[in-house]
Structure 1
């Protein structure tokens, strides 16, 4: 007996498309955060000033490839009814080429991934094909993604075609590392820097997409996603996609708790509580809160990063009191304004620096939890210390600025039985009526929060006098503008280095001569031009080896600076690439250490190599070159009649230092 029931076909499931692809912009109106680029292109298209090549640069996930496709669509835009048949940035409907271009399957729009096709052979294919006119579009458009991955030969092969392409050819390049593109290529392109998207704009975008998906996402959850995405729309949509899957269609939708658990982030208000305990010096409570957050799944490095973010935000609130930011909740705004009123700029800057140092230690530590805990302990103790200028004023008998406390004065408790002399050696810094903020929080309910400072009973100030046998040919300014000799700080810091068992040779190695100290002072001044930072707080890359050594000194990497001056020979130097020949005593880990530091300081990739067998290296170290120049100057000035006469008047006198009048300012 046969079965007469019709056979049912298995249900075909449509492949899921992630949110980043599903909601990818299709025209310039859909793009967010790049208004200046859109306006420039719109004006260029309307005036007919269309460049032959464009290069788009920026961090990951901000729309470089998408922008390239939209630009290709705009160049070849044509409606089916023929009403619009010219390049335009206004595309109200899909043109006859639009869908194929957006799907990367148009016959006249070529997309090439330079990460996988890097050689001159791939470029030759492009060069040979450009002479043929487009099949059915207005322009042949070549989109090369990750263009910085092309080889030098490939770039050179492209130059001529890029400079004088046929009228029907346009090039669009995309890259995340613009510094690796040869200048000869950049000069032939119109460049657009796509910036990170503002967190508020990202939050609105994610809320809009969540509504289209029919998913409920809390406002706090959207704020966390917007901040975690760091200006990248694609990263944020990937987090949102994962959060929706994690919620599993729960009644409450996606909550901030889901996001925190998924990303290993602690509750922001609990981070505020931790920050408050640290700045009050309540270390037991702070460490207990840190341990609780760690036990609940928060990553130690993320906790420190959140604390750093809070200190940065409070600093901004202090500078801009009426700052509006809908990424932070009203409760967080209230807390932030409270901290901004009670914390000084000095303490916030100190907290920021200590947290950055702690984050670096946690990253490299074998036990991140222990490293993070030590960083918090340092921060908690540092918050209780008075500022150096306050201590100096106190010791000099001048009134020092103090904690900006609540209306009730928080004087130290009176000594029992009317104690006097011994009790007076411990003095409490009283609140200031002017309301100037200082270095730590103080609350009415905790009178012990006042700063305690032990004052020495007697302080003898000894005036430093020059030795009788020292003759200065020209007066030298020993004191900087702030009243402190930075050369002495440099000298003391070098002497404090610990490098294993000390020997006489080691002492000579770490000692810093007066010449080195003075040169370091000049290096600090010279490198000030390099230290101008951009929006991401990076230092501009040094242009030569001498500037590099000056920058290393400016960053207080003193041992590394001495190695570069005394133990290596320069083979070649250009921005991003340094080749050195080490002397036998040079530290073999120097290339790795120097590369890591330069990438942190400049935000660029660097290559530093050692070549022991190099034949083209300099014949002398940087220190030896400086000594040779100094010896030549001494020889020159020794012939001057006045100098010869002066030296003759003092038995055994010699020229130890030469200072130009221009350097006296």
Structure 2
């Protein structure tokens, strides 16, 4: 016979052989004894814990030809010797149909099943359908099966095995008995592996078997599959395979937890270099950062549980509930207890949270090594932090402020470590002052925010309790001030408020509403240093070249606006800065080097050159320059179209005088002309 894997070879054939599912097996055996047979069962739970196995055993018990209580079958267990039990065990029974629902999930397959269910069984008492991975069946197929599930023939029994019972419609679940399977405990898996190793003639120590049981993660099938693989790769001595823990770790790609214990000891000692060195050794050995982070998360979880359960460094108190919480071997329980003794419960919780976040980030980061090392360094930095409660305990409280509180033992121990943050806080002297009520670190800030910036009457501020001095204030160094030069320039102060000009014309001319020109105010001359005078202050009137450039810009943009399909070029040149330098008319646009020839195309450039020739500037060479985009606030106002209301308002002499005197800007123009 061909080789059978251990998971199939040692598959249980009796209810008593199923490990870790006593709540299911006892219930089913009692139902068989009392004759309370349901027509539908749902078996749900973790992978590889015996759902399909128990469905087969139940089918054997239902179709067993020997009656319960007979000499061949004293209990509800199947006899395993009759023809029906033998056929079901071998998988060739006619009346027990096992269907893979992941493949036969459609409505057509379920309709065929429903039609076949009407016929009587060929030989046995019941016709049994075992639907594996039942959650894969579509909703339409489940709806086609509803009536059969609710009122099935007396000879039909449905058994559905699934890992996701929530995906099965509630209407189906309400018509079946639902059994929720538990993950197999580490002790049960370890016992099964120990017995199988003896029957297979394999020499395996407890450390190796414990590692295999932990790798199963509650699944008996997974543990047996890993054991099968380990036996195949194990060295043979005297004709017997020998399983070793180091060989199993290398096979699974894991590292011993002693490495993580060493990392936590370095974190406790505030030794960042040692933490990075250990991480570098692990990564250089070819270990995956994601796998290391995953294993470190599991180890930190065990440390948190060991701290909560009160497991000591010698493994004491690791029985009872503590042993149930920690599904690891005795050696690993002692190791977790030693690491947990170095930290508090809050610190271990923060460590676990940081490593969980690091493990999540490694799934979509490019440089996994850097993020893994950063996560380990965060653990060292978290160790340097002081809880807020311990810092606030240093301040005086109530009437007993004459004696400051003594720091706790853990705070003193943590400050003793080379932590600059802790030394800076704890070394500050505390001035004992008796102040009532007790000092609150939020009181000063609250009073400041309540009366800040208001004209209301300010309250009398009581002297608050002094805050501990953190550092001695440094006297400011004297600054040498250079005396002003004797030469001065008298400049009259500008008006205090910008005034927008206002012009009102009789219709049909456009009207511009603005505030009348204010009376001139004689301001006292202000003396400033000559070195402080800027070129802008020396000449407030625009030069003739800038006026000519602005006029040429207006002419060019109007020509582009009137041209066909050149609106984008007109907008770009309207936002540009025009200047005349020698014989060149330079246009500094906001467009990039790539976008400039696309927006201001040759046709648009031809229109601009023609407009410049008509304006008498044909001798100037047009130079278009790309540049960075300016902010919206710095953009120049676009030139108005010729003949529009805004253009006529701009041509009015009063408006132009107001713009010249006050550098005013016309934002809104209301056209009151009739018929417009």
CA distance, structure 1, for counterparts of residue 293 and residue 362 of structure 2:
9
The residue aligned with 1:313 is 302
The residue aligned with 2:78 is 91
CA distance, structure 1, for counterparts of residue 302 and residue 83 of structure 2:
49
Q: What is the aligned residue count?
A: 421
The residue aligned with 1:57 is 44
The residue aligned with 2:366 is 366
The residue aligned with 2:92 is 105
State the shift of 1:239 in Å. Answer: 0.7
- TM-score, normalised to structure 1's length? 0.59
Deviations 1:76-113 (A, max 9, x none): 12249993799963235433211211222100001111
Contact residue 57 and residue 78 of structure 2 kept, 8 A:
no
The residue aligned with 2:665 is none
Deviations 1:404-426 (A, max 9, x none): 4xxxxxxxxxxxxxxxxxxxxxx
- TM-score, normalised to structure 2's length? 0.58
Q: Does 1:169 align with 2:156?
A: yes
The residue aligned with 2:221 is 234
State the shift of 1:377 in Å. Answer: 0.9
Within the candidate set 446, 449, 453, 1:463 is matched to: 446
Contact residue 77 and residue 88 of structure 1 kept, 8 A:
no
Contact residue 114 and residue 149 of structure 1 kept, 8 A:
yes
Deviations 1:140-196 (A, max 9, x none): 101111111111111011000001111111000011111110000000010011111
Q: Does 1:273 align with 2:243?
A: no
State the shift of 1:331 in Å. Answer: 4.7
CA distance, structure 2, for counterparts of residue 248 and residue 56 of structure 1:
40
State the shift of 1:401 in Å. Answer: 5.7
The residue aligned with 2:385 is 385
The residue aligned with 1:120 is 107
Deviations 1:552-592 (A, max 9, x none): xxxxxxxxxxxxxxxxxxxxxxxxxxxxxxxxxxxxxxxxx
Bigger Rg, which one:
2
The residue aligned with 1:16 is 3
The residue aligned with 1:344 is 344
How do residues 114-153 of structure 1 correspond to structure 2 at under 5 angstroms?
114-153=101-140
Q: Partner of 1:364: helix, strand, or coil?
A: coil
Q: Partner of 1:154: helix, strand, or coil?
A: helix
Q: 1:292 to 1:82 in 2, by over 3 A?
A: same
State the shift of 1:316 in Å. Answer: 1.9
Contact residue 80 and residue 96 of structure 1 kept, 8 A:
no
CA distance, structure 2, for counterparts of residue 206 and residue 190 of structure 1:
32
Q: Does 1:430 align with 2:425?
A: no
Q: 1:76 to 1:330 in 2, by over 3 A?
A: closer
Within the candidate set 193, 196, 219, 1:206 is matched to: 193
Q: Note the residue ranges of structure 1 that are not aligned, 5 or more in a row.
A: 1-13, 405-428, 432-439, 471-665
CA distance, structure 1, for counterparts of residue 74 and residue 109 of structure 2:
29
The residue aligned with 2:524 is none
State the shift of 1:450 in Å. Answer: 11
Between stretches 343-352 and 386-395, larger displacement belongs to 386-395
Q: Partner of 2:265: helix, strand, or coil?
A: helix
Q: 1:390 to 1:129 in 2, by over 3 A?
A: same
Within the candidate set 219, 226, 243, 1:254 is matched to: 243
Q: 1:133 to 1:92 in 2, by over 3 A?
A: closer
Deviations 1:426-450 (A, max 9, x none): xxx425xxxxxxxx7x9xxx96589
CA distance, structure 1, for counterparts of residue 190 and residue 6 of structure 2:
15
CA distance, structure 2, for counterparts of residue 284 and residue 430 of structure 1:
24
How do residues 436-455 of structure 1 correspond to structure 2 at under 5 angstroms?
448=418, 452-455=422-425
Between stretches 244-253 and 197-206, larger displacement belongs to 244-253
The residue aligned with 1:610 is none
The residue aligned with 2:545 is none
CA distance, structure 1, for counterparts of residue 453 and residue 63 of structure 2:
84
Contact residue 148 and residue 181 of structure 1 kept, 8 A:
yes
How do residues 218-229 of structure 1 correspond to structure 2 at under 5 angstroms?
218-229=205-216
Q: 1:128 to 1:331 in 2, by over 3 A?
A: closer
Contact residue 39 and residue 158 of structure 2 kept, 8 A:
yes
Q: 1:401 to 1:260 in 2, by over 3 A?
A: farther
Q: Partner of 1:302: helix, strand, or coil?
A: helix
CA distance, structure 1, for counterparts of residue 407 and residue 20 of structure 2:
44
State the shift of 1:217 in Å. Answer: 1.7
Deviations 1:242-274 (A, max 9, x none): 111111425771111111111111112222112
CA distance, structure 1, for counterparts of residue 406 and residue 168 of structure 2:
55
Q: 1:124 to 1:208 in 2, by over 3 A?
A: same
How do residues 548-563 of structure 1 correspond to structure 2 at under 5 angstroms?
none
The residue aligned with 2:489 is none
